[in-house]
Amino acid sequence: MKLLSVVIPCYNEEENIFDFYNELMKTEEFFKGRDVDFELVFVDDGSKDNTAAKVKELNQKDGRAHLISFSRNFGKEAAMYAGLSHAKGDYVVVMDCDLQDPPAILPDMFKAIEDEGYDSVATRRVNRKGEPPIRSFFARKFYKIINKMSNTEIVDGARDYRLMTRQFVDAILSMEEYNRFSKGIFGWVGFKNKWLEFENVERKKGETKWSFWKLFVYAIDGILAFSTAPLAMASLIGVLFCMVAFIFIIVIIVRQWTVGDPNNMVGWASTACIILFASGVQLFCVGIVGQYLSKAYLEVKKRPLFIVKEEL
Report the interface residues with ligand UDP, using CB under 6 A: 9-11, 13, 45, 73, 75-76, 79, 96-98, 100, 203, 208-210
Q: Is 98 in the site for Mg ion (CB under 5 A)?
A: yes
Instruction: Name the 3-class secondary structure at 264.
Output: coil
Of residues 9 and 187, the one with the C-beta less far from ligand UDP: 9
- Minimum CB separation of residue 51 from Mg ion in Å reads 15
* Phi then psi dihedrals of residue 145, to 5 deg: -65, -50
Distance (Å, rounded) from C-alpha 147 to C-alpha 144?
5
Of residues 20 and 168, the one with the C-beta less far from Mg ion: 20
Instruction: Name the 3-class secondary structure at 123.
Output: strand
Q: Is 50 in the site for Mg ion (CB under 5 A)?
A: no
Catalogue the E-assigned strands of the chain. Answer: 2-10, 36-44, 65-70, 91-94, 120-125, 158-165, 193-198, 308-311
Q: Is 100 in the site for Mg ion (CB under 5 A)?
A: yes
Q: How many residues bind Mg ion (CB under 5 A)?
A: 4
Helix 76-86 to helix 166-173 angle (10° resolution) is 130
- Return the closest-CA partner of residue 147 out of 223, 72, 211: 223
Of residues 78 and 234, the one with the C-beta less far from ligand UDP: 78
Residue 222 touches which member of Mg ion, ligand UDP, none, C-beta under 5-8 Å by kind: none
- Minimum CB separation of residue 253 from ligand UDP in Å reads 59
- Minimum CB separation of residue 123 from Mg ion in Å reads 13
- Minimum CB separation of residue 160 from ligand UDP in Å reads 8
Of residues 11 and 143, the one with the C-beta less far from ligand UDP: 11
Distance (Å, rounded) from C-alpha 249 to C-alpha 93?
62
Distance (Å, rounded) from C-alpha 256 to C-alpha 264?
9
Of residues 31 and 161, the one with the C-beta less far from Mg ion: 161
H or E stretch covering 136:
helix 133-149
- Minimum CB separation of residue 19 from Mg ion in Å reads 13
Binding site for Mg ion (CB under 5 A): 96, 98, 100, 203
